[in-house]
Chains A and B, each alone.
Chain A
Amino acid sequence: GAVVSQHPSRVICKSGTSVKIECRSLDFQATTMFWYRQFPKQSLMLMATSNEGSKATYEQGVEKDKFLINHASLTLSTLTVTSAHPEDSSFYICSAKDPRQFSYNSPLHFGNGTRLTVT
Chain B
Amino acid sequence: AQKITQTQPGMFVQEKEAVTLDCTYDTSDPSYGLFWYKQPSSGEMIFLIYQGSYDQQNATEGRYSLNFQKARKSANLVISASQLGDSAMYFCAMREGIDNFNKFYFGSGTKLNVKP
> Chain A: residues with CB nearer than 8 A to chain B?
31-32, 34, 41-44, 46, 49, 91, 93, 95, 97, 99, 103-113, 115
Check B45–A95 contact: CB distance below 8 A: yes
Name the prevailing secondary structure of the B interface residues.
loop
Closest to B49 in A: A107
Report the count of interface residues on B (CB-CB < 8 A).
24
Out of A49, A97, A105, A112, name the residue touching B50 (CB < 8 Å): A105
Q: Which residues of A contact B107 (CB under 8 A)?
A: 43
User: Once A and B bind, how many residue pairs between them come within 8 Å at the CB atom?
Assistant: 60
Check A107–B43 contact: CB distance below 8 A: no
Check A43–B108 contact: CB distance below 8 A: yes
Given the interface contacts A91-B43, A115-B43, does A103 sit within 8 Å of B108 by beta carbon? no
Chain B nearest Cβ from A64, distance in angstroms: 18
Closest to B31 in A: A104
Closest to B44 in A: A112
Check B108–A99 contact: CB distance below 8 A: no
Check B50–A44 contact: CB distance below 8 A: no
Q: Could you say which of A97, A104, A108, A109 has the most chain B C-beta atoms within 10 Å of its C-beta?
A: A104
Check A46–B43 contact: CB distance below 8 A: no
Check B103–A46 contact: CB distance below 8 A: yes
Q: How far is the CA of A74 from the CA of B101 in the complex (A)?
A: 15
Given the interface contacts A43-B91, A108-B104, does A113 sit within 8 Å of B43 by beta carbon? yes
Check B101–A97 contact: CB distance below 8 A: yes
Extra A-B contacts (14), CB below 8 Å, given A93-B43, A103-B98, A105-B33? A42-B108, A42-B109, A43-B107, A43-B109, A44-B106, A46-B104, A103-B100, A104-B31, A104-B52, A107-B35, A111-B44, A112-B42, A113-B44, A115-B43
